[in-house]
Amino acid sequence: MAPRNKEQEAEVLQWISDVLGEKLPPGPYEDVLKDGVVLCKLINKMAPGSVKKIQERGTNFQLMENIQRFQAAIKKYGVPEEEIFQTADLFERRNIPQVTLCLYSLGRITQKHPEYNGPTLGPKMADKNERNFSEEQLRAHHGELNLQMGFNKGASQAGQGSFGNTRHM
């Protein structure tokens, strides 16, 4: 498990606060996010209507449902499945760095959504850089000698037959 990065956690909370346009409740990072209410509000701000029902208070089970609704919504939004944290990672504090990674991923994915123009998190995503080569350019490459494949013109195995001979020191 990766060590926690308090600077990244602070950056994530600041980003969430900026996106929501409101101050977050005070407290440790994992406590602010634990019930999933802030997370559901976040995805609803980015993609309105993503989470239909948010349990503001209730049993642990009901609060964990908020996290699960958030996870389903961000998966639909485009966050890769392998970057989404497990409910227990946050709710039972099993893997808080994974929660941070997931939120960074969400912040990065927002850049792909033209309808979202709020604050982003983390580095700017690269733009697609497509190149088109003519048939002639592609054919010219085939005549080249690829040095990574090795070049052994003139090499022979002469002098390699010392197998089984005794070594003289």
Q: Would you write out the chain's pLDDT as a tens digit for each of its 169 residues? A: 678 899 999 999 999 999 999 999 999 999 999 999 999 999 999 999 999 999 998 999 999 999 999 999 999 999 999 999 999 999 999 999 999 999 999 999 998 888 888 888 877 666 666 667 777 776 776 666 555 556 566 666 665 655 566 666 6
pLDDT of amino acid 145: 57
pLDDT of amino acid 165: 62
Residues 85-91: contacts with CB under 8 Å, at least 24 apart: 90/30, 90/33, 90/34, 90/36, 91/34, 91/60, 91/63, 91/64, 91/67
5, 100 contact by CB (below 8 A): yes
The secondary structure of 105-119 as a DSSP string is HHHHHGGG-TT--S-
pLDDT of amino acid 63: 93
pLDDT of amino acid 114: 83
Tell the CATH topology of 4-109.
Actin-binding Protein, T-fimbrin; domain 1 (1.10.418)
SS3 state at 166: coil
Provide the whole-model pTM: 0.72
pLDDT of amino acid 27: 93
* Distance in angstroms (rounded) separating the CA atoms of residues 36 and 90: 9
pLDDT of amino acid 77: 95
pLDDT of amino acid 117: 84
User: Where in the chain are the domains?
Assistant: 4-109
